[in-house]
Structure 1
Amino acid sequence: MSFTLEDRWAITDLLSMHGHLVDDGHLDRFEDLFTADVVYDLTGFGQEPLRGVAALRAAGWALGADNPVAHHVTNIVVTAETDDRARARSKGLGIGADGTCASVSYDDVVVRTPDGWRISHRTLTPRRTPLGGLTGPG
């Protein structure tokens, strides 16, 4: 088996599906996106990483009305590591109910499972300063 163009498409679809499922309130379908033991790293937001789909689902429900009303994933770049493992980097935009907008970078490890590609590790990095905080060449 080898990493194919179809694998890239499947991973891109996987990352794109996240926003649809969350925005539609289908947190019960997180197994379609994540491995059962997923690590969802929120340390960039001053929080401990969430471990496992159940913890991720509970956190989503606990946020309730503070969840963004729209998640948009863009600029997906997939890099194969092996036939069954890849890294994906993408940008995320979240739109709040009050119209505010926030940006993150997603750094994902995706793995091939018997049910298809799933995210096994996701790191969210908030984007708060232009140019990644750099002020000049160097």
Structure 2
Amino acid sequence: MDELSLEDVSGIRGTLALFSHVFDNAEVADLGRVFTGDAVIELRRGAGRVVRGLPAIGEFALSLRPHGPDHQTLDSHIFVDGEGVVRARSRYLAVLPDGSVHNGDYLDVLQRTPEGWRIELRVSVPRYPLAEGVFR
């Protein structure tokens, strides 16, 4: 794929926006509207964590309730890389239960499915507080 249509970009933006609503509210039945069935989330904050597959992503979302972060996704740049892979880089802000804020980047690989655009891989890279070794 060399270029994305406006319809593609709109669909991808919708998927990226839906993440915070579905994940933060642990609406597990709707996670398939955001992620592919075999999606992977890689968290690079602290010791890190890899979550594989929609059932595990649902368990992860539920494990954060009721005191999980409140995510805001913004400034998404959507593009096709040199190998034809559809990617998005988004900034996020996460308000933690104590009122402190954590932020970083989501580095996503997206896949067009019959139901629409879905996240196949999400790598969450923290910015502040700065994780050791991430930007050095």
TM-score by length of 1: 0.83
Give unpaired runs (5+ residues) of structure 1. none
SS of the residue corresponding to residue 29 of structure 1 reads helix
Mapped partners of 1:96, 1:129: distance in 2: 13
The residue that corresponds to 1:15 in the other structure is 16
Deviation at 1:65, TM superposition (A): 2.8
1:113 paired to 2:113: yes
Mapped partners of 1:87, 1:39: distance in 2: 14
Amino acid corresponding to residue 38 of structure 2 in structure 1: D
Distance 1:8 1:127, change over 3 A: same
Mapped partners of 1:115, 1:133: distance in 2: 36
Amino acid corresponding to residue 42 of structure 1 in structure 2: L
Count of residues paired in the alignment: 131
Amino acid corresponding to residue 16 of structure 1 in structure 2: A
Preserved contact between residue 85 and residue 112 of structure 1 (Cα < 8 Å):
no
Instruction: State the superposition RMSD in angstroms.
Output: 2.3
Mapped partners of 2:38, 2:81: distance in 1: 20
1:51 paired to 2:52: yes
Q: Per residue, is there more helix in 1 or in 2?
A: 1
Q: How does 1:1-138 map to 2 (within 5 A)?
A: 3-68=4-69, 70-81=70-81, 85-128=85-128
**Percent of aligned positions that are identical:** 30
Deviation at 1:24, TM superposition (A): 3.1
SS of the residue corresponding to residue 12 of structure 1 reads helix
Mapped partners of 2:5, 2:135: distance in 1: 36
Preserved contact between residue 26 and residue 58 of structure 2 (Cα < 8 Å):
no
Preserved contact between residue 35 and residue 118 of structure 1 (Cα < 8 Å):
yes
Deviation at 1:30, TM superposition (A): 0.6
Deviation at 1:12, TM superposition (A): 0.9
Deviation at 1:63, TM superposition (A): 2.1
SS of the residue corresponding to residue 97 of structure 1 reads coil
